Chain A
Amino acid sequence: MLLHILNRSPATSEVYRQALAAMGPDDRLLLIEDGVQGALGALVDRFAALEGRLYAQEEDLVARGLEPLCDPSVALIDVEGFLTLTEEAQKTVSWF
């Protein structure tokens, strides 16, 4: 299992498509920085194929005031959770 990390918003950047194209069936995707916009109910459908493998950095959502708009299908993780995801993954792949 690989951990893919996306820091760009799917509303303004197409790089999320490249991340999705490069993901294996068990790989996980973590949204960080502006990438957390993808966790919003209005944008999360871009990641519909991931079913339970989509994570978002909670601190970044909170700083942007976006936590209340976050879709319930997205798993929110703090920095400790980020570390755990990293430990569980064979390696990480960054998309920016």
Chain B
Amino acid sequence: MANDKALGVDGDLLVILRHGPHGTSWLREGLDAALVAAAFGRRVTLLFMGEGVTALVPGQKSGPLGQKGTSPTLEMLEMYDIDTLLVETEALALFGLRADGLMLSAREVEAAELAELASTHSLVLTF
């Protein structure tokens, strides 16, 4: 297909997760998109940015009305071969979190690296 290159078929997908769990469905939708892409053979990079870093806080539970959280989905990422997890250093500091205290291991990236990430992945989806 002529559009393959533009659609990023030959390259990697960067999914930027900018929302925390429970408050909205953005995080869940971003993870769903990542899982679908991985199931279709894409290489997926997940970037937890801003409030999105709170998705990686350990010890999350169901919501007060029994709503399912997103942490069970995060635990499945490895099964889908999504193992490139990036976390924004500035956001960790903002929320008083540390990379070694997160529920999954993620590599820290500085704000200065974000532009390069966005330009080197052929497809970028923000949630």
Residues of A within 8 A of B (CB): 7, 9, 11-12, 33-34, 37, 40-43, 59-60, 62-66, 68-69, 79
Q: Contact string, B5-22, partner A, CB cutoff 8 A, digits 1/0?
A: 000000000000000111
Question: A42-B95, A43-B94 are known contacts. Are A65 and B23 too (CB-CB below 8 A)?
Answer: no
In the complex, the answer to whether A37 meets B54 with C-beta atoms within 8 Å is yes
Are A59 and B57 interface neighbours, CB within 8 A? no
Report the stretch among B37-45, B62-70, B104-112, B115-123 that lies at the interface: B62-70
Contact across chains for A40 and B96 when beta carbons are under 8 A apart: yes
Specify which chain B residues have a CB less than 8 angstroms from the CB of A63 in the assembled complex. Answer: 21-22, 60-64, 67, 69
Q: A42-B95, A63-B64, A64-B54 in contact; A34/B23 too (CB < 8 A)?
A: yes
A7 to B23, CA, bound (A): 9
